[in-house]
Structure 1
C-alpha cells in the first residue's frame, strides 16, 4: 500500500508535474503518417522534405514517412485506399476520381500549385513553338499516369485545337525526355520544371526548348494539392492540422532558401545535381507556388468560386457527371490561419 507521500509522487508523475525541481513529463505517443509524393525526390518536393528535416513534423508529434510517387494521378488511389494516410496529387484528377465514385474517402486539404504546371514541352527545331496551334500535325509523347496528359481533353477545347491532326504516343516516364531529345516525338506532356531541366540534361540547348503552359492558354485550373484519407482525418484531426502547420513552415523555408531545399532533396538522391535542383525549385516557386494570389492570401488555400468554375470546365472537357462540388473536393478546416501561411 502506497504512503501518502508515495501516492502524491505517483500522481505527480502521471500528471507530468515538477518534483523537487525536476520536471517529469509523460512520454508522448507520435502519430504515424505515410505520405506519398507525386514523383521522385526533385527540387519541388523540398517543402515536404524541409518540414521533416527541420523538425516541424516532430514538433507536431508526427512520425512522417515520405515516399516517392509515379505520377500525380496515381497518388490519389494510394490515399483513397488507405495505403497512405496523406499524399500529393492533382486536384483535377481528384475531381474526376470523386465524380466517378463519390464514396471514395479522399479529399484535398492544402493547395500547393496555385497555378498548375501542366505543359507540353517541345523543340523549336521540330516545329513546336509557344503557340498551341503549332501542335497540330505533330506527334506528342504522353505518359498515361501524367497529370498534364489527364488535362489534354480540356486543353484541346480551351486552345481550340484540331486534335484529329495530332498523334499521341503512349510512352513511359523514363524515356520521355530522351525520346524528345532524339526527335522520336515532337513534344511531350509533363510538368514544365521537370521536363525542361531533364531535356537540358539530355543535351537539348535551352534556346531550342519551347513551353506551352496550359494555364497561359485558357485552362484556369488548380494544380497539385495535399490529399488526406478522410477516415484517417476524422480519427486524427489534430494530426492533420499539425501536418499542414508543419508544411506551411517547410514551404516557407523552401521559398526563402532554394539551395537549402535542393540540398534536402540531394540528401535523398545523391545522383542529382545541386545546381539543377535549385533551379528546378526556383522555377516551381516562381511559376506555380508563390503566385500573386498566394502572396495576398497565404499559401495553401483556394478561391472556392475559382475551383467551382474549374469543375464546370471539367464537366464539359472530361465528361464529368456533376456529382461533386468544390466543398466536397477541398476541405479547408484543417488549414492554419492565413497569417501562419504567408510565404517570404
Structure 2
C-alpha cells in the first residue's frame, strides 16, 4: 500500500509538471497596433497555451528597443529589426541574442512625405527637411536608401524628432517628409486628417534596399537550454499570423481587448497593409514564414557594410539561426 501511494504521488507530480506552463515574456518593438494583432490572437486562440506557454506581451518604443532587453535576459524573446541587430552585435560582441524567425520578409522601412510639400520621389528630398527619430529602424537604413537612389544626403536637412511628434510635424507641415514604417506613418497621418492622396510612400525595398525587416529574436542562452519552448512559441506565432491573414477581423478583436482606445477600422487597414506589403511576399507564399534566402542575406550584409563600418567581419550565422523554426506546417501561410 505504501509503494502504491508513492507511485501515485510520483505519477501526479509528473502529470502536474507536464501541464505546467512556462512563463515567457515577449517584448514588441512598438505599441499595440494592427501588426501586433496576430500575437494577441495567438494568445486568445490558445496557440501559446497549447505549447504550454504563458506568454505576456509588452509594447516597445522603437525598432532597437527589444534587442538589449533580450540580450540581457530580461525578456527571452522579442521582436526587432534584424539590421539593427547586426550593428548591436558588432558593437557588443558575444551578446547572447540572435534572430530566429523573419516576420517582415519585405521591410516596411520608408520615407513618407506629402505631395503638397513637394515630395513624391527620392530626389525631391533634396533641399527639404526630413524628420527622423534617432532610434528609428527606417532612419538607420536611410544611408543605404540614399546611396541606392543616388540622392545627395548632404542636401537634406535632417531634423531629429521624437516618435510621438513625428507624424504631427509632417501633418502640420513643419517637415516635408519623415522616416518610419510605411503602415504606421501612413495610417497615423490619415488619422491626423492628412488626405490619402496627399501622402507619398517611398518604400525603401522598392528602391534597391535589399534588406530583411523585423524578426523574432531570442536570448541564445535561453534558447539553447529550451529549444522546444522556442519552437513551440514560433509555431504559435505562425498560426496567429495565418489566422490574421485569413480573418483579420478576429485578430483585430484580440488587439482591441488590449487597446480599446484604438480605431478598429484603422488598425484593420494597418494590419492589412503589413500583410500585403511586408509579410505575405511571394517568397513567403512559396517557402513559408520565417526563413531567409542566403544570397539575399549576403547582399543585405554587403549593403550594410557600404554605410556602416563593422569592427569585425560580419557573419550571417551570428544574426540568424533557423534551427528553431517548426516543421509542422504552422509557418505555411497559404
| TM-score where L is the length of structure 2 | 0.96
Structure 1 segments (4+ residues) deviating >6 Å: none
**Matching residue within 171, 186, 192 for 1:181:** 171
Note if contact 1:13-1:26 (Cα within 8 Å) is conserved in structure 2: no
CA displacement 1:260-319 (0-9 Å, x = unmatched): 111111111111111111110001000000000000000111112211221111011122
**Matching residue within 30, 41, 51 for 2:21:** 30
CA displacement 1:124-146 (0-9 Å, x = unmatched): 000000x2111111101011111
What secondary structure is seen at the aligned counterpart in 2 of 1:212?
strand
Show the 5 A alignment for 1:175-324. Answer: 175-324=165-314
Offset, 1:326: 1.1
Note if contact 1:141-1:168 (Cα within 8 Å) is conserved in structure 2: yes
> Within 2, Cα distance between the matches of 1:100 and 1:338?
36
Offset, 1:322: 4.3
Offset, 1:248: 0.9
> Within 2, Cα distance between the matches of 1:284 and 1:146?
17
What secondary structure is seen at the aligned counterpart in 2 of 1:337?
coil
> Within 1, Cα distance between the matches of 2:193 and 2:214?
29
Q: Are residue 88 (structure 1) and residue 84 (structure 2) matched?
A: no
Query: Can you give the 5+ residue segments of structure 1 that lack an aligned partner in the other structure?
Result: 18-23
Note if contact 2:105-2:278 (Cα within 8 Å) is conserved in structure 1: yes
Query: Can you give the 5+ residue segments of structure 2 that lack an aligned partner in the other structure?
Result: none
What secondary structure is seen at the aligned counterpart in 1 of 2:259?
coil
What secondary structure is seen at the aligned counterpart in 2 of 1:102?
coil
Offset, 1:339: 3.1
CA displacement 1:313-344 (0-9 Å, x = unmatched): 10111222343311111001100117331113
Note if contact 1:86-1:226 (Cα within 8 Å) is conserved in structure 2: yes
Q: Are residue 164 (structure 1) and residue 154 (structure 2) matched?
A: yes
Q: Are residue 60 (structure 1) and residue 51 (structure 2) matched?
A: yes
Note if contact 1:14-1:26 (Cα within 8 Å) is conserved in structure 2: no
**Matching residue within 64, 68, 71 for 1:73:** 64
**Matching residue within 3, 12, 23 for 1:7:** 3
Identify the residue that residue 320 of structure 2 maps to in structure 1: 330
Flag the structure with larger Rg.
Answer: 1
Show the 5 A alignment for 1:135-174. Answer: 135-174=125-164
CA displacement 1:53-105 (0-9 Å, x = unmatched): 11111111111110000001121111111121110000000011112222111
> Within 1, Cα distance between the matches of 2:108 and 2:328?
24
> Within 1, Cα distance between the matches of 2:221 and 2:32?
28
Identify the residue that residue 343 of structure 1 maps to in structure 2: 333
Offset, 1:31: 1.5
CA displacement 1:4-44 (0-9 Å, x = unmatched): xx523542452359xxxxxx943433211111100000000
What secondary structure is seen at the aligned counterpart in 2 of 1:87?
strand
Total equivalences in the alignment? 333
Identify the residue that residue 110 of structure 1 maps to in structure 2: 101
CA displacement 1:99-118 (0-9 Å, x = unmatched): 22221110000000000000
**Matching residue within 24, 45, 52 for 2:36:** 45
What secondary structure is seen at the aligned counterpart in 1 of 2:79?
strand
What secondary structure is seen at the aligned counterpart in 1 of 2:289?
coil
> Within 1, Cα distance between the matches of 2:67 and 2:132?
19
Identify the residue that residue 90 of structure 2 maps to in structure 1: 99
> Within 2, Cα distance between the matches of 1:77 and 1:26?
34
> Within 2, Cα distance between the matches of 1:64 and 1:278?
23
Note if contact 1:36-1:86 (Cα within 8 Å) is conserved in structure 2: yes
RMSD: 1.5
Identify the residue that residue 21 of structure 1 maps to in structure 2: none
